[in-house]
Structure formats: structure tokens, C-alpha cells
């Protein structure tokens, strides 16, 4: 077979890496297909339209799921007990049923025979209604992407510029996000309040008191999407919205994102395990459902391999990034995500004091680009080696921007010169946007002219990292991914399969398990009603 790309990677080695990743992922996929979680079940209720919370902020979805679990368990799913109660009892809406259940006034059962068939039919209709709403929101995005940019406005050049807003107050986030869009941001990410990933419920309503971020709620999603739609029409280009589908409520947040037309979601196979100590089994089960929703909604996921390099050495651990990306790709494809939805992450985190550090960065970035040619890669800026020297920091960010352009990255999160020292000032953001605009505009299509010397340092380094990735995948496919995580393979941190938060929310499915949302997502092509021209694309 002939070599490929600028790095002349051996196609047989690349194919072997993917085969090993698939082998390593298979036991996890089987586990996810044979188990459910409390959040997967609550996601069905949210698809069916259940919203609201009690006076203390606990959602009715939690109340209803807990009541069913206490009385009949979740092994058969929520669908049959809940819709049986609606069909046979005095309550005609999920909201009324949930409030009554919270007061202990509902007796749930697992129906059989004709009653079970009727409950299943009603639950399926409710789930299909929610998925139809997600389909309509995807169609809205498709229409906006066709209309925007307007004839007098240029389509944003690549890489797309990704910027974080994180005040804690959604009503302060909105003007900041709109200002960022006017200054050149193509993607606005509303970072979540610290610790939300550890909450086993999704807060309700518009929030104004987040810490180092703003709570991910359906109302906050709605408000920010509407605000970015306004500024998109003003600018004549579609501004994308990102949030975080991770943590203990990953399936529910993914569902709410689909219902409110978010465009990208942070969604990684191991980030919550390693950096938030969420149980591995819970994470992988929740992740599969969340990615099925993302696939249906046309949402681009952003994975979190860049985080490994904040705790591990960016040179020594480069191959762990590749391995995680290959696993994320396999998990994503199995859940229905197309290549155009795989925003695989990596980062510019090599110590700048190392000789040839920039050449090493180029080798890593080009390797990722060639391994995943159809993926909208997300490249993260330097943070770990930022110091109080703002001039050096600004220069390092410019090198990062240059690496992103040279290697054809799709999305770059702008680096700020005081990143890692404090929450950056708005003036730092303005300078960062100016930096990336200059580099992107000055370089243009420079990636076309970037040709590493055959068998030079960049090519040799890329091949070395790929070879190390294959070796690690061989070990993982033999020993198991859960074992590899327990041994600290990714990001150094060790996490036990039976430890961490949320394991008590994992339930093995019994024979006769019913979740009509999963049945629909498992059996229907998520892209069947969306042509390639209509699908959200972030060209490589």
C-alpha cells in the first residue's frame, strides 16, 4: 500500500491502530448496551417534556425516577411503570404524576400483557415526540447555515475561533458572548459552574450565581441560543454555541442541548473519570446515550484529550492522546456520530524550554490531522507553561495559532497571555482575538505549503508516536480499558472501575427492559433526514 499524507504514515499501521481500538472498545460497548443509569432514564422523561423542580430545586424528573426505582426498580426501565401509571391513574401529565409521586401518592407497578403493550405504545409516542423536536431544531440549524453567511459577508475562514464565556450569571454572559462574536469569535462556549458535573440533577431555570462558570440548564441554553441567533443575523454569519455534556447528568444535558439547538458539546470518553472521579462504568453507559442524542441533533462533540497533557508530560504522553482519540472515534461511530461530528481534542502543551519544541508540536498536530482527516479537530492553547511574563505568553499563543494554521486544525480555542495566572481580563480576550485574527489572515492557506522534509525530525517523531500508540493499544486490548484506566494510563491519575461517584446509579438491564428513546436511536439512522449539504460541517 502506498504511503499517505505529508507524514507518509504506513496505512497498515494506521489500520492496525483502528482495529486495536475497536477491540479495546468492544467490552465497553457491550456493557453500555446491557446497562442503564438513572440519568439515561431521566433523559427519557425530559424528551417526553417533563420540566420543573420543587421549591428546593430538585427536578421533578428526579422525583419521578426515584419513586419508580424505590417501588419497582429500574431494571426494566422507567417507561412501562410511568406510562402505565398515566394510563390507569388519575394523573394525565408527567408533571402532575411526578408531583404526586414526590408526595408518596402514586403506586407504580410493572405492567404485563395488554397493559404493558399500551404503556409501551404511549411511552414510544412521547419519546418520538421529543426526538421530533430535536429533528426540528437540527433543521433550523441547517436552514441558518444555508442562509448565513449573507451574500455580503464572508464565511469564517478555518480554523474557527472558539472562545469561552464564564461569568456565572447568564444575563452577564449574553452581552459578553455577543461582544465576542462581534470581535471575531465563531464559537462561544459557556463553561459550566465549578462542580456541576458532580450534581446528579440538572438545575432548573435561568441562573445568576455560578462559580467560575454558569450552570448548564435548559433555560440558560435557550437564552444564549436566542442571543447568538440575534448576533448571527446582525453579523451575517452563524455563531455556534457550546456547552458541556459530561458528569453525572450527561444524558440529560445532551438531551436538553438537542432540544435547544446547541451546536457543539464537550463530551469525552474519559475526562469525567480521570479529572472528576466519576465512576468509569457510569460514565461509559451515560456517554453512549448522550452521543446517540448528539448524533441525532447534528451536534459536534469536543473531546478532552488536551487535559491529559496538563497532568502528564506532553512529550512522553503524546501517544496516550492518540490512543484516546482512536477510542473516542470508535465509541462515537458506534453511537452514530459521523466523522464531521468528531471534534477530537489535542493541545499545544510542550514545555517551550525544550529544544525543537515547536517542531515537536507540529509533528503531534500534523499526526492528528492525518489520522482523522474528516474530523473537525479542536486544538487547545498553551496553559501549563504560561508564566507572569505576558510578552512571552502572547508570543507563545501566536506560535500556537501558527501551529493551528500550518497543520489545518478546524477549531482553535484562543489562548490568553495571562491564562493559568488568573481569570483573564476582557482586555486579554480582545488581544487574544487580535492575535489569532492576524495569524489566520496573514497565513491564509499556508497549510498547503507546509511540507515536512521526508524522514526529517517532524516525520520521524510522528511515526514514533503512532508506533507507541499501537503498542499501548495492544496492551489495552489484552488487559481491558477499565484496567488501563485503573493503572493511570491516561493523565497519570488512577481510577478504579468500582470507585468514584455515581456507581449507585448504574443498573443492569433485565429481560424485557424498555426505553423507547434508545430503541428509536438504536434503529434509525440519525442522519437519514439530513443531506450532506445540510449537515453542520466544520471542514478539515
Residues annotated as catalytic are 271, 306, 378
Using alpha carbons, select from 84, 87, 47, 52 the residue that is nearest to residue 68.
84
CA 244 to chain centre: 6
Kindly report the CA angle at 65 between 62 and 67, in degrees rounded to 5? 105
Q: Give helix 280-297 / helix 318-334 axis angle, nearest 10°.
A: 60
Q: What distance in Å separates the CA atoms of residue 304 and residue 405, rounded to the nearest whole number?
A: 20
Q: Give the strand pairing for 160-165 and 187-190.
A: parallel
The three cell numbers of residue 223 are 437564552
Determine if residue 305 is left, alpha or beta; phi over 0 gives left, psi from -120 to 50 gives alpha, anything else beta: alpha
Cis peptide before 149 (omega within 30 of 0): yes
CA distances 10 to 5, 112, 453, 471, Å, are 10, 57, 16, 15
* Plot region of 57 (φ>0 → left; ψ -120 to 50 → alpha; else → beta): left
E strands, 446-486, are none
Q: What is d(CA 276, CA 500) in angstroms, rounded to the nearest whole number?
A: 8
34, 61 Cβ separation under 8 angstroms = no
Amino acid at each position: 500500500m502506498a504511503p499517505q499524507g505529508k507524514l507518509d504514515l504506513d496505512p497498515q499501521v494506521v489500520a492496525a491502530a483502528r482495529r486495536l481500538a475497536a477491540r479495546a472498545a468492544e467490552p465497553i460497548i457491550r456493557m453500555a448496551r446491557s446497562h442503564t443509569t438513572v440519568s439515561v432514564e431521566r433523559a427519557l422523561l425530559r424528551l417526553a417534556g417533563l420540566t420543573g423542580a420543587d421549591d428546593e430545586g430538585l427536578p421533578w424528573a428526579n422525583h419521578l425516577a426515584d419513586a419508580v426505582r424505590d417501588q419497582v426498580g429500574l431494571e426494566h426501565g422507567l417507561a412501562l411503570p410511568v406510562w402505565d401509571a398515566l394510563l390507569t391513574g388519575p394523573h394525565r401529565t408527567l408533571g402532575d404524576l411526578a408531583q404526586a409521586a414526590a408526595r408518596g401518592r402514586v403506586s407504580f407497578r410493572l405492567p404485563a400483557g395488554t397493559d404493558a403493550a399500551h404503556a409501551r405504545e404511549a411511552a414510544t409516542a412521547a419519546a418520538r415526540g421529543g426526538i421530533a423536536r430535536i429533528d426540528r431544531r437540527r433543521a433550523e440549524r441547517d436552514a441558518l447555515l444555508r442562509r448565513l453567511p449573507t451574500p455580503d459577508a464572508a464565511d469564517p475562514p478555518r480554523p474557527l475561533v472558539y472562545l469561552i464565556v464564564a461569568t456565572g450569571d447568564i444575563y452577564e454572559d449574553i452581552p459578553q458572548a455577543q461582544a465576542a462574536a462581534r470581535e471575531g469569535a465563531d464559537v462561544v462556549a459557556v463553561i459550566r459552574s465549578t462542580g456541576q458535573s458532580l450534581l446528579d440533577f440538572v438545575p432548573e431555570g435561568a441562573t445568576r450565581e455560578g462559580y467560575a462558570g454558569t450552570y448548564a440548564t435548559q433555560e440558560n441554553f435557550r437564552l444564549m441560543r436566542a442571543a447568538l441567533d440575534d448576533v448571527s443575523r446582525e453579523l451575517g454569519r452563524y455563531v455556534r454555541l457550546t456547552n458541556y455534556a459530561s458528569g453525572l447528568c450527561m444524558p440529560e444535558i445532551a438531551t436538553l442541548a438537542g432540544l435547544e439547538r446547541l451546536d457543539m458539546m464537550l463530551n469525552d470518553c474519559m475526562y469525567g473519570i480521570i479529572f472528576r472521579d466519576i465512576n468509569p462504568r457510569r460514565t461509559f453507559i451515560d456517554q453512549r446515550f448522550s452521543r446517540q442524542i448528539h448524533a441525532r441533533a447534528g451536534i459536534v462533540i469536543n473531546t478532552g484529550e488536551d487535559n491529559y497533557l496538563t497532568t502528564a508530560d506532553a512529550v512522553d504522553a503524546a501517544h496516550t492522546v492518540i490512543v484516546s482519540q482512536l477510542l473516542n472515534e470508535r465509541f462515537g461511530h458506534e453511537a452514530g456520530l459521523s466523522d464531521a461530528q468528531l471534534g477530537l481534542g489535542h493541545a499545544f502543551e510542550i514545555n517551550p524550554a525544550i529544544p525543537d519544541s515547536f517542531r515537536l508540536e507540529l509533528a503531534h498536530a500534523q499526526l492528528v490531522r492525518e489520522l482523522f482527516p474528516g474530523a473537525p479537530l479542536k486544538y487547545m492553547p498553551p496553559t501549563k507553561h504560561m508564566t507572569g511574563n505576558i510578552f512571552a505568553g502572547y508570543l507563545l499563543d501566536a506560535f500556537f495559532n501558527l501551529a493551528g494554521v500550518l497543520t489545518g486544525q478546524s477549531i482553535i480555542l484562543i489562548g490568553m497571555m495571562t491564562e493559568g495566572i488568573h481569570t483573564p481580563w476582557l482586555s486579554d480576550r480582545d488581544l487574544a482575538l487580535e492575535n489569532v485574527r492576524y495569524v489566520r489572515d496573514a497565513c491564509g492557506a499556508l497549510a498547503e505549503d507546509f511540507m515536512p522534509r521526508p524522514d526529517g525530525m517532524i516525520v520521524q517523531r510522528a511515526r514514533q508516536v503512532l508506533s507507541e500508540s499501537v503498542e499501548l493499544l495492544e496492551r489495552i486490548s489484552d488487559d481491558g480499558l477499565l484496567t488501563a484506566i485503573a493503572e493511570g494510563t491516561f493523565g497519570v491519575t488512577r481510577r478504579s472501575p468500582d470507585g468514584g461517584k455515581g456507581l449507585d446509579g448504574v443498573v443492569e438491564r433485565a429481560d424485557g427492559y424498555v426505553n423507547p428513546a434508545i430503541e428509536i436511536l438504536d434503529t434509525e439512522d440519525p442522519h437519514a433526514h439530513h443531506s450532506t449539504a445540510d449537515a453542520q460541517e466544520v471542514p478539515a
